[in-house]
Structure 1
Amino acid sequence: MAWALAQTELLQGAAWRVNDAQVRWRTLFQHQGDPRIAISLFEDSTEELVSWPPDREYHATLLGLLAADGTAVVAWDVILDAQREGEGDERLVATAGAAREAGTGVVVGAVSDPGTGAGGPTLPDPADAFHHVEGDVSAAYGDVSALLPFPALRSAARFGFVDAPRSGDGVIRQIPLVVRIGDRLYPSFALQTVLAYLHVTLDQVTVKLGEAVSFPTPKGVCSVPIDREGKYLINYRYEHDDLTPDYATYTYRELLLKLKAKLMDGKPLPGREPQVEGKILLVGQTVTGKADAGPSQRSSYTPLVLVHANVIDNILNRDFIRRPPGWVVWGGLLLLGYAGLTPAIARTLRLQLSFGVLVIVAYASVVIWGFVYGNWWVPVVGPMMGYGLLQFVVIGGRVLREQKAKDQLKQMFNSYLSPELLKKILRGKSLAEVSSERKPVTILFSDLRDFTSWSEQTKEETLIAQLNEYLAAMVECIHAHGGTLHKFIGDAVMAVWGDLVSEGPATDAQRACEAALAMQERLNVLNERWAAAGEHTLRMGIGLNHGVVLVGNIGSPRRMEFTVIGDAVNLASRLESLNKELKTGVLVGGAVYELVRDHFEFRECGAVPVKGKREPVPVFELCALKLTGSSASRTPVAES
Structure 2
Amino acid sequence: MALKSNKRGSLLVIVAPLLTAGLMAALWSLDFVRELENVTLDHRFRARAASDPPPHPRIALLGIGDASLRAEGRWEEWSREIHAVFTERLTHRPPKVLAFDFFFSEESRVAPEGDVRFADALAAHLAPITGMNIALNDAGIDSAPPPQEYYLGGKTLPLPRVRGDLDALLGGNTANLPIPRIAESAFTGVVNCPASRIDNMRREIPLVARLGDRVYPSFVLQILIQLEETTPDAVDVVLGEAITLPKKDGGRWIIPIDRRGFMAINYRDTDRFVMSDYILVSELLDAVGAGDAWPAGLPPLTDQIVIVGQAAEGLQDLGPTPYHSLDPLFRVQATALDNILRSDYLRRVPMAPLLGGWLLLAWLTLLPLRRAPVVLEIAIPALVTAAYVGLAFSLFRSHSLSLPLVLPVAGFLLLHTGVIVDRLLAELREKRYIKGVFRSYVSPDVVHQILESGETPKLGGERVEITVLFSDIQGFSTFSEQLAPESLVELMVEYLSEMTDIVIDQGGTLDKYIGDAIDVMFGAPLPLADHAARAVYSAIMMQRKQVELREKWQALGKSELVRGMRTRIGLNSGPAVVGNMGSQRRFNYTMMGDNVNLGARCESGAKAYGVYTMITGDTYEATRAVRDDITYRFLDRIVVKGRTLPVEVYEVIEQTSRIAHATLECIDLYAAATELYLQRDWDGAGRAFTRSAALEPLQPGPDIATNPSLVMADRCRAFQLDPPGDDWNGVHIMSEK
Tell me the residue number matched to 2:380: 355
How many angstroms does 1:276 deviate by? 2.1
- 1:111 deviates by 1.8
Give the 3 Å change call, closer, same or farther, for CA 67–411 of structure 1 in structure 2: farther
Tell whether 2:286 aligns with 1:260. yes
Tell me the equivalent position of 2:3: none
* CA displacement at 1:113 relative to structure 2: 3.5
SS of 2:71's equivalent in the other structure is coil
Q: Which amino acid aligns with 1:159?
A: T
SS at match of 2:401: coil
Q: Could you list the per-position Cα deviations for residues 424-450 of structure 1 after superposition, in whole angstroms to 9, with x for gaps in the alignment?
A: 565xx6438x99xxx9789xxxxxxxx
Structure 2 contact 206–262 (Cα < 8 Å) conserved? yes
State the shift of 1:11 in Å.
4.0
Partner letter of residue 260 of structure 1?
D
Structure 2 residue 168 is the aligned partner of structure 1 residue 99:
no
1:83, distance to aligned residue in structure 2 (A): 4.6
Q: Between 160-169 and 408-417, report the one with greater CA deviation.
A: 408-417
5 Å matches for 1:394-473?
A: 394-409=419-434, 419-420=444-445, 423=448, 430-431=453-454
Q: 1:108 is matched by which residue type in structure 2?
A: T
In 2, Cα distance between equivalents of 1:325 and 1:500? 57
In the TM superposition, residue 79 of structure 1 has moved relative to its aligned partner by 1.1
- Number of the residue aligned with 1:80: 104
- TM (normalized to structure 2)? 0.55
Distance 1:76 1:502, change over 3 A: closer
Match of 1:299 in 2: 324
Aligned residue in 1 for 2:267: 236
Distance 1:159 1:190 in 2: 10
Structure 1 residue 282, shift from structure 2 partner: 0.6
| 1:123 corresponds to which of 151, 164, 173 | 151
Structure 1 residue 370 corresponds to structure 2 residue 395: yes
> Which secondary structure state, in structure 1, belongs to the residue aligned with residue 128 of structure 2?
strand
CA distance in 2, matches of 1:394, 1:509: 39
Question: How far did residue 258 of structure 1 move?
Answer: 1.0
Kept after mapping to 2: 8 A contact 1:235/1:321: yes
In 1, the alpha carbon distance for the partners of 2:255 and 2:233 equals 17
* Alpha-carbon distance, 1:306 to partner: 0.7
Look up the match of 2:49. 27
* Structure 2: distance between partners of 1:9 and 1:394: 29
Q: Structure 1 residues 481, 69: closer, same or farther in 2, change over 3 A?
A: closer
Cα distance, 1:44 vs. partner? 3.9
Cα separation, partners in 2 of 1:134 and 1:268, compared to 1, 3 Å: closer
Q: Which residue of 1 aligns with 2:184?
A: 155
User: Cα distance 1:412–1:119, how it changes in 2: closer, same or farther (>3 A)?
Assistant: closer
Question: 1:507 corresponds to which residue?
Answer: 576
Deviation at 1:192, TM superposition (A): 0.8
How far has the Cα of 1:318 moved from its partner? Answer: 1.1
Tell me how far 1:188 sits from its aligned partner.
0.2
CA offsets 1:283-326 (integer angstroms, 9 cap, x no match): 01245664312222322211111110011001101111111222
Matched to 2:365, the amino acid is G
Contact 2:446 2:580 in 1 (8 A): no
Question: Pick from 390, 393, 417: which aligns with 2:415?
Answer: 390
> Residues 502 and 418 (structure 1 numbering): CA distance in 2 closer, same or farther, change over 3 Å?
farther
- The one-character-per-residue Cα deviations of 1:241-299 (angstroms, maximum 9, x if unpaired) are xxxxx1121111110011111126x8889874552233211101245664312222322
Alignment-derived partner of residue 700 in structure 2 = none
Contact kept? 1:441, 1:505, Cα under 8 Å: no
- Determine helix, strand or coil for the equivalent of 1:371: helix
Which segment drifts farther, 35-44 or 173-182? Answer: 35-44
Q: In structure 2, what is the Cα distance between the partners aligned to 1:414 and 1:127?
A: 88
SS at match of 2:124: helix
Aligned partner of 2:203 in structure 1 is 173
SS in 1 for 2:182: helix
CA gap 1:628/1:5 in 2 versus in 1, 3 angstroms:
farther
Which residue does the alignment assign to 1:317?
Answer: 342
Task: Tell me what 2:70 maps to.
Answer: 47
Are 1:247 and 2:273 an aligned pair? yes
Aligned equivalent of 1:108: 130
Q: What's the TM-score once normalised by structure 1's chain length? A: 0.63
Post-superposition offset of 1:157: 2.5
3-state secondary structure, aligned to 1:109: strand
Tell me which moved more, 55-64 or 172-181: 55-64
Q: In the superposition, relative to structure 1, how do residues 440 and 70 fare at CA in structure 2: closer, same or farther (>3 Å)?
A: same
- How has the CA–CA distance of structure 1 residues 67 and 213 changed in structure 2, closer, same or farther, with 3 Å as cutoff? farther
State the distance in 1 between where 2:361 and 2:283 align.
63
State the alpha-carbon separation in 1 of the partners of residues 277 and 526 from structure 2.
83
Match of 1:459 in 2: none
Code of the residue aligned with 1:508 in structure 2: it is V
Q: How does 1:542-581 map to 2 (within 5 A)?
A: none
Q: Is this contact kept in 1: 2:463–2:575, CA < 8 A?
A: no
1:123 to 1:289, Cα distance in 2 relative to 1, 3 A: farther
Q: Which residue of the partner structure matches residue 164 of structure 1?
A: 193
Matching residue's letter, 1:27: A
Q: Displacement of 1:64 after TM fit? A: 3.0
SS at 2:162 equivalent? strand
1:553 corresponding residue in structure 2: none
Match for residue 83 of structure 2? 59
- Structure number with greater Rg is 1
Distance in 1 (CA, whole Å) between partners of 2:89 and 2:228 is 21
Q: Once the two structures are superposed, what CA deviation does each residue of 1:162-203 show, in whole Å capped at 9, x if it has no partner? A: 111222132222221101112111100011112222223222
Q: Contact 1:425–1:501 (CA<8 Å) still a contact in 2?
A: no
SS at match of 2:308: strand
Residues 608-619 of structure 1 aligned to structure 2 (within 5 Å) = none
What are the within-5 Å matches in structure 2 for residues 275-294 of structure 1? 275-286=300-311, 290-294=315-319
Q: How far off is 1:39 after superposition?
A: 0.8
Aligned with residue 173 of structure 2, among 125, 144, 149: 144
d(CA) in 2 for partners of 1:505 and 1:362?
52
For residue 134 of structure 1, the aligned residue among 163, 169, 172 is 163
CA distance in 1, matches of 2:524, 2:321: 69
Assess if the C-alpha contact under 8 Å between 1:215 and 1:221 holds in 2: yes
Secondary structure of residue in 2 paired with 1:47: helix
Moved more, 372-381 or 52-61: 52-61
Task: Show the counterpart of 1:185.
Answer: 215
**Matches of 2:149 and 2:313 in 1, distance apart?**
29
Percent identity over the alignment is 30
Q: Which runs of 5+ in 2 are unaligned?
A: 1-22, 137-141, 465-509, 513-522, 529-572, 587-641, 645-732
- With 277-286 and 10-19 compared, the bigger mean Cα shift is at 10-19
- For residue 74 of structure 1, give the secondary structure of its aligned residue in structure 2: strand
Within 5 A, what are the aligned runs for 1:451-530? 507-508=576-577
Aligned partner of 1:69 in structure 2 is 93
Whether contact under 8 Å (2:97, 2:227) holds in the other structure is yes
Q: CA deviation at 1:7?
A: 5.2
Residue 222 (1) aligns with residue 253 (2): yes
Shift of 1:629: 5.9
Q: Is the 8 A contact 1:40 1:249 kept in 2?
A: yes
Query: What secondary structure sits across from 1:180 in the alignment?
Result: strand
Instruction: Determine if contact 1:3/1:382 at 8 Å carries over to the other structure.
Output: no
1:630 is displaced (CA, Å) by 4.7
Q: Aligned partners of 1:379 and 1:420: how far apart in 2? A: 50
Question: SS at 2:289's partner residue?
Answer: helix
